[in-house]
Every structure is written in C-alpha cells, then in structure tokens.
Amino acid sequence: AIYVISNDDLRRWGVTTIPDALRRVPGLQVARIDANKWAITSRGFNSRFANKLLVMIDGRTVYTPLFAGVYWDMQDVMLEDVDRIEIIRGPGGTLWGANAVNGVINIITKPSSDTQGNLVAGAIGNEINGISAARHGGTLDNGASYRLYARYSSYDNGYSPDSSHDDWHIGQTGFRADWGQDSRDAFTLQGDFYQGESGEQVSIPTGTAGPPPTMIRTRDDDTDLEGGNLLFRWSHQLGDNSDFALQAYFDYVDREEVVLNEDRNTLDVDFQHHFRLQNRHDILWGAGYRYIEDDTRNNPTFSLQPDNRDFQLVSAFIQDAIDLNDGVQLTIGSKFEHNDFPGFEYQTSARIAWAADNGQTLWSAVSRAVRTPSRGEHDVRLRLVPDPAMDPGIPVYAVGDDDYDSEEMIAYELGYRLNYHNNWSVDLATFYNRYDDLRTLDISSAGPTGVLLPFDNRMDGDTWGIELAGQWQVRPGWRINGSYTYLNMSLDLDSSSTDTQSQGAGDASPSHQASLWSAYNIGGDWEFDTALRYVGDIEVSGTDIDDYIELDLRLGWKPGPGVELSIVGQNLLDSRHGEFQPDFIATQPTEVERSIFLRGIWKF
C-alpha cells in the first residue's frame, strides 16, 4: 500500500513542514502536540515517541535509537527541492529492516541537475514569524551538477489558556553534487548542517517522598538543536540487466533540553545488487553495517546507565520478484539482522499481484516484522509525572530492562487498484495485524524510595482497517482527490500484567479520518486549492480530545516567468483546536490556531 506526494502537491497544498504534508495521506495518523512536536504513525499506536514508523531522507535513517522515534522539529527539509515523498503503509522490514513495522516514509530530494539556476522563497503570517530560503544550482566544466541552499524557519507559539513557550526556529544549509549520470557510473555527494531552538514547558516531579499529590515544578525550557550529515552514493551499471549501488553516510545529532540530552554519531554503509535471472526473476540482495555511538547527560529526571554507549547493526536481505503467467507477479523476501540489544532477528514477506490489461491490479501480502528495543528500553531511568488519581506519594520511575524483547507482528494485507484511462482512479487497501510481546510497564518493586516500572512485553493485540484513496480528473486543469481511513485497535494485557496505562494506546489513534481536496486552475495564471479534513476523537493519557473538521485554502498567482505569489489559510473553521497530548516526557501541549500567511517564490 503506497502513496506518493509529488513536488507539485507540496506546492499546491501550501504546506511549510513535512508533518503538515503527511496529513492528507490515508492510513497515517498525524497530530500536533505543540508548535514544534508531532505524533505521527501509520496504522495505529500514535505517540510523540511513535516507534513503529521508519522515516528516511534520501535513504538516510532519521529514526533515533534512543527512544525509537523521530525528532520532527529537526527535519526542516527545503520543500522546493523535494522530488517526492513515498509513504508505504504496512511492514517494510524485508527491505528496510527492523522498525519498519507499520510503515515507511522516504523523503527523496531532486538530483542537482533538476535544480539549476537560482531560487528565492519566503513566507510570513500570523503563525509563521518568517520562512526564507535561497538556492543556487550550476554545472562544472567536467559536467558535474551541483546545488547550494540555505533555509531559515521561525514559528510562533501555539495557544494555551495559561501561557505557552513553544515557539521555535531552525536554520539549515547544505549542498548536493551529482556526476557521471551519462556513463555506467553515477555518483552523488550531499550534506546538510542545521542549528535551531525549540521552546517547551516541562513539568518535572520534585522531592523524594510525601503525601500525594507529588510536587510538580513547571518551567520554560529552550531545547538547543544541532546536527549534520554527509552522504555518498555510487551506482554502477554492470550490464543491461544488472547493477549495484553502494551508499555510505555519517550523521551527527546534538540535542540538549532539560530532560533529554543526547549526542549521537551514526556511520552507515549499505550495498545492494540487482539483476534479472532467466527473464522471470528480478532479484535484489544486499548487506549493511551501522555503527552508533551516543553520549547522554544524566539528570535527576532522566538518566541512562551507562550514560554513553556504542552499538552495531549488521544486516543482509534478499528479495525475488517472480513473473508468473498472465500478469501475475510473486515477490518473496527475507531480511536478517543482528544488533546488540535483542541479538538476531529475521523478517519475511510474500506478496502476489495480478495486473490486468484494463488498468486493474489486485494484490495480497503476508509479512512478519519486528520492532527492536531502543536504547532507552534497556538502559533508562525516567521519573514519571504520576496520574493524580493514582499518585502513590513517592517517586515513580520507568526503568530499562536487559530482558526486554522485540515486539513482533504478522500482517495480512489485501488491496485493489483501478486506473481508468487516467481520468479517475481508486486505491483500496485492507489489513489485519497481529501483535505479540508489546511494551508494558509492570511494577517490579515499591518501597520508600520509589516505585519501579521496568519495561516488559506483557501485551498482545490486533488491529484492522480500511484505507481508501481516489482521484478524479474532472477536466483539464481541475483535479479532485479524496481519502478515507478506518482503524480498529484491540489490545489485551497478559493476566500477569499490572500495567494500567499501556492498553490506552489503542485509543490514541482515531477510528475515522477523511479528507477531500481540489486543485483548480481558474484560468490564465491563477490557481485555487481547497481542502477539507476530518479527524475523529481520541483519548491520550486519560485526556479526551474531540474530533474536528478543518478547511485549508490557497490562492496562487503567477504574474511572470519564474514568479509565484500565494495566500494560504490553514485551519480556518476554528480559531483553535487541540490534537494530542504528550507521553513519558510531561511537556505542556498547546492548541493549533488558525493560520494565514503570504508566500512567494522567484526562480531565475
């Protein structure tokens, strides 16, 4: 089940961040916690620390092993340079490995040959303090193409009836060079560096013991963000039906906030070989190695033992797409991994698809995927803010456990696609997922110094759902798209479990979501885009969040060659609405406010 967001979609949707771009994708749950934090997942289990969705940028993983999630405020990609965003719902572990359990998002930027010349862009509005971007692309005497870019983004606070401190800003610069594309060898070298600051209000429990309620101190904090990466890719054509690719990258992350502090270095090398055998087998195999070292700074609320650690991941995979008769293709594959936490893991899948001549495709799949333990689930000691109704009056800690195992899932999928002469299309995907050994927090001890809740695997569950997307080309210059998602989750604790919170993960993703949007060329140089979104009600950490409907509008004008001006309105039906609540780290949520901004792009 795949969905692709094109560069033109990003432009006409009027979005300024990757999370906002993902809101219209069927099967994804996207919710904003405050102005710089998001909860994003696929097919359920949503959380700020959503751990079953793998996110990559040009094949570079941005999934942090500290807590098995994504820092979305550190992914300020220059959207004008994005070629497409590929979203795969369902397991992708056979190709991408552990943690690609419920889905994969791959953000793919344009080759530098497609970004020649100069570009200047900017935006300003009531919720956007200012966005500015500049890019220059050129070609060297040896035929190599390149681009250089810089982007700065600054966003205002969200709404809180008391106060808010969640404004944020980030600056990013980078380059990309491509050469050799006209020969058997093609090379890419690219890199980015960013610095920024994200505000938050954090509630921290203080004191050691006493009668309930536990003393809570709330303070303003500014999280310092810094990081960079360097990636090299070599593709070589061995023959008409054979090629290989070698990719290596280094990624550096430094995040300093009042609770979570992390320095992390990652070195990753990946090799893939593709060839056809006997005109029926399309075989892809490869191997990879990843080395990660981190250094954290412990504090009374959050600590890791040891506070610095290095670990390795070694993997190999093979996949064979077999052409059967009458447009039927069978794809089978397995991936094998070994890392320092659970040890050896394997993931397998079998998919069959029938592509008829009349634009119809019917497909089905069975897959096994795993979510490996994070560094925190083995080594953390995190003091929690207790639920007032269950406050024991002594410190409560979530603690890591060396015996914590991987979570496992068996997924069954069935899908149907129809493309009718490119005038209209329908894409339907259904799924049933069975999970074992899901994460729980069970009491191991309680004494005068505190209650210890080690991570354990005492919950199972199943989810099933329907994802529907459609497109209608009403006439040249007018396109209407729509989507609908239904999700049902059922989680069951083992009889031995004392966990009182983890089962609530089944209520944190809406059962119903729908969207409808229109892209209309008025005539001449004017464009008019409208979008309606519906998100059902949820419950997060014991807090009910109402369903909502929102409207986005965009009016665009191209007054001359290379110039585009637009006015965008987002979340226009309400002055504000809430979308999610924090978990584990007790930051203060804020509500999403109505946003209106002006945007301009000049290419020359």
CA-closest candidate to residue 362, choices 314, 407, 427: 427
- When computed from its CA atoms, the radius of gyration of the chain, rounded to whole angstroms, is 24
Cα gap 227→60, rounded to integer Å: 14
Please report where in the chains the tokens 């609405």 appear, as a residue. 577
- pLDDT for position 67: 82
Cα gap 32→576, rounded to integer Å: 12
CA angle 64, 61, 348 (to 5 degrees): 100
Asked if 467 contacts 429 with a C-beta cutoff of 8 angstroms, the reply is yes
Cα gap 300→316, rounded to integer Å: 40
What is the dihedral angle through the alpha carbons of 105, 110, 111, 113, rounded to the nearest 10 degrees?
170
> What is the value of pTM for the model shown?
0.95
Cβ-Cβ contacts under 8 Å for 486 (sequence gap 6 or more):
465, 466, 467, 511, 512
- pLDDT for position 439: 96
How confident is the model over 413-443, as pLDDT tens digits? 999 999 998 899 999 999 999 999 999 999 9
CA-closest candidate to residue 317, choices 69, 98, 89, 90: 98
Asked if 429 contacts 89 with a C-beta cutoff of 8 angstroms, the reply is yes
Cα gap 538→475, rounded to integer Å: 38
Asked if 411 contacts 431 with a C-beta cutoff of 8 angstroms, the reply is yes
- pLDDT for position 336: 95
List beta partners, residue 305. none
CA-closest candidate to residue 478, choices 513, 526, 515, 514: 526
Peptide bond before 342: cis, by omega within 30 degrees of 0?
no
Tokens for 539? 């419950």
Task: Return phi, psi of residue 119, to 5°.
Answer: -145, 135
Tokens for 315? 């993997």
| Low pLDDT (below 50) residues in the chain | none
CA angle 14, 15, 20 (to 5 degrees): 145
List beta partners, residue 434. 410, 462
- pLDDT for position 550: 98
Strands 2-6 and 82-89, bridge-based pairing: antiparallel
- pLDDT for position 342: 80
Cβ-Cβ contacts under 8 Å for 12 (sequence gap 6 or more):
519, 527, 529, 554, 556
Task: Please report how many Cα atoms fall inside a 13 Å half-sphere around the Cα of residue 420, on the Cβ side.
Answer: 10
DSSP conformation letters of 127-153: SEEEEEEEEEEEE-TTS-EEEEEEEEE
Cα gap 463→508, rounded to integer Å: 13
Asked if 14 contacts 554 with a C-beta cutoff of 8 angstroms, the reply is yes
CA-closest candidate to residue 555, choices 514, 521, 513, 589: 521
Cα gap 122→569, rounded to integer Å: 16
Element (H, E) at 21: helix 18-21
DSSP H helical ranges for 380-424? none
Cα gap 320→456, rounded to integer Å: 36
DSSP H helical ranges for 217-334? none
CA-closest candidate to residue 51, choices 336, 335, 450, 435: 435
What is the dihedral angle through the alpha carbons of 40, 46, 47, 49, rounded to the nearest 10 degrees?
-70
- pLDDT for position 462: 97
Cα gap 479→473, rounded to integer Å: 5
Cα gap 58→190, rounded to integer Å: 10
Please report where in the chains the tokens 């064979």 appear, as a residue. 320
Number of H-type helices and E-type strands within the chain: 4, 37
Cα gap 312→519, rounded to integer Å: 47
Peptide bond before 306: cis, by omega within 30 degrees of 0?
yes
E strand segments, 442-525: 445-447, 450-475, 478-493, 512-523
How confident is the model over 58-99, as pLDDT tens digits? 999 998 888 878 999 999 999 999 999 999 999 988 888 778
